[in-house]
Each structure stands twice: as structure tokens, then as C-alpha cells.
Amino acid sequence: MYADKEQKEILQSKGCLLTDQYLHDYEDCFVNKWDELIDWEKRAKSEGSFFYDIFRQRNVQSIMDVAAGTGFHSVRFLEQGYRVVSVDGSANMLVQAFENARDKGYILSTVHTDWRRLSFDVQGEYDALICLGNSFTHLFDEHDRRRVLSEFYSKLKPDGVLIVDQRNYDRILDEGYSSKHKYYYCGENVSAEPVQVKDDLVQFEYTFPDASVFHLNMFPLRKAYMQKLLYETGFGSVTTYGDFQETFRGEEPDFYIHVADKG
């Protein structure tokens, strides 16, 4: 997947994690447990009408869910009548998403591809592109982040909108970890804690009630850096929400949601 073999070798020799790491992180058994971690019902409640309001204001009809995972958002938006295509680089995740959708009476339109190849593998342009659930943070080098944002940009219609979220890594890096555990990973009795925090890696450990343990490796994106990347990709405006609210001065949010309009 690395166009530049030399760059890949340099990163590896420095002990850096590569963007392909997500394929190892989302092994079979972890994917089977993902829905236990996120709890669809509680998550839908915590999001409320946040996404629908954004879609309504922009007259969105077609959505590309680029980090489909087990299909939480794809299914939610299909249920509301949007045209959705579900993309993911992990085949395990897409299989689970397809089954989850089928159980609710929907046939998911899926594309198995890596974001770095999006424009090769997905046809057409969309009104909205969503990259949710702290997924963008799986990109470990700046070159890939810029390349992927350009791919996302190119798959949007001229007045399209990208919605991308991330953990509040500023707080984790500057003050240490704490979480209201309310908005994203709503599963009861599943603990999610960072076990490594460095400027270029945060490793989260997930422990389930049956004592199984999994790890996810992520790049700690700072909010201002992410906003800068979005503007430098060409997005005309970027509004950042904290835990689904526009004003988040009182309490530091667990997650940021960037809404980037192309036009």
C-alpha cells in the first residue's frame, strides 16, 4: 500500500507504526466484540439528531460511510431513508456490518478498500462523507493523512460535507486520561483505558467482562492540527463540535466532531 517503498522502510526502521496497522488491530475476535463495546442503542441516544440536523441543513441525500465498522451509522442512516455506501478496509468489519444490516432488514452496499485507494474503488460523488468512531486516528503518518483527506475531498460533490471525529487527544497528552464514557463506547462493563501515551502513539486497552483483552493503536491527533489539515486540503469552512455540542467551554469533551464543508 505504500507508494514509496523507501519511506515505508525509513518509518519501520524508526520503530514507527504504519497506517496498515489497523488491519492487525481489527482481528476476527475483536470485531466480534465491537458491538458489545459500542452498544448501538445508547450510542444512538447520545448522538440524538446531531447528524440529521447537519444533513437536513445541507439537503444531503447520499452518504459514504468510509469507516463502516460493524455498520452502526450506515444502518442508522439507511433506516432514515438516505442512500448509503459502506466502505471499510477490514473485511472482518464489513462482513459483520452486512450481517447487522441484514438482521434489521437492509442490504448494505459495501466496498472493501483502503482510504488511500478510495477514488480508484468507489464510483461517483456524494453529498456527505462520514469518518466516525475515532477512525481517522488510525493513520500514522502525515503523508497518509493528507493523501486520505484529498481522497475524501475528491469523493464529495462541490457543496458536500465531510464529518470526521476524533478523541480529545489534547487532553490525554496534556493532562492524562479521563472519560465520561457516555458518547461513543457506551457498552457496560467494558473498560477502555490508554496503556501507552506518547506524542506519536496512544495505545488503548479494551477489557471485556469475559476477561478478553484487545488493543488499538492510534495516532494522537491534536484538534488544531486536524483543523489545519482540513483547511489545507481545501475545505472552505470547518466547525468543530465537542461531544455533539457546538459550545464546549464549560467541560472538556471526550470527542471532537469536525464538520468540514467543501463549498
Q: Which residues are near ligand SAM by CB under 6 A?
A: 19, 22, 26, 38, 67, 69, 72, 88-90, 93, 114-115, 132-135, 138
12 vs 237, which CB is nearer to ligand SAM? 12
Minimum distance from residue 82 beta carbon to ligand SAM (Å): 16
133 vs 187, which CB is nearer to ligand SAM? 133
Return the ∠ at Cα 196 (arms to 190 and 201), rounded to 5°: 110
171 annotated to bind ligand: no
110 vs 134, which CB is nearer to ligand SAM? 134
Minimum distance from residue 69 beta carbon to ligand SAM (Å): 2
Phi, psi angle pair for 128, to nearest 5°: -140, 145
127 vs 144, which CB is nearer to ligand SAM? 144
67 vs 260, which CB is nearer to ligand SAM? 67
| Residue closest to ligand SAM, measured at CB | 133
200 annotated to bind ligand: no
SS3 for the chain, per residue?
A: CCCCHHHHHHHHHCCCCCCCHHHHHCCHHHHHHHHHHHCHHHHHHHHCCHHHHHHHHCCCCEEEECCCCCCHHHHHHHHCCCEEEEEECCHHHHHHHHHHHHHCCCCCCEEECCHHHHHHHCCCCEEEEEECCCCHHHCCCHHHHHHHHHHHHHCEEEEEEEEEEEECHHHHHHHCCCCCCCCCCCCCCCEEEEEEEECCEEEEEEECCCCCEEEEEECCCCHHHHHHHHHHHCCCEEEEEECCECCCCCCCCCEEEEEEECC
Residue the block writes with cell 466516525: 132
40 annotated to bind ligand: no
Minimum distance from residue 71 beta carbon to ligand SAM (Å): 8
CB–CB of 94/88 below 8 Å?
A: yes
114 annotated to bind ligand: yes
88 annotated to bind ligand: yes
Minimum distance from residue 126 beta carbon to ligand SAM (Å): 16
69 vs 187, which CB is nearer to ligand SAM? 69
Give the torsion sign (CA, 19, 4, 231, 131).
negative
60 vs 131, which CB is nearer to ligand SAM? 131
174 annotated to bind ligand: no
132 annotated to bind ligand: yes
34 annotated to bind ligand: yes
Minimum distance from residue 185 beta carbon to ligand SAM (Å): 9
Annotated binding site for S-adenosyl-L-methionine: which residue ranges?
26, 34, 43, 67, 88, 114-115, 132
Annotated binding site: which residue ranges?
26, 34, 43, 67, 88, 114-115, 132
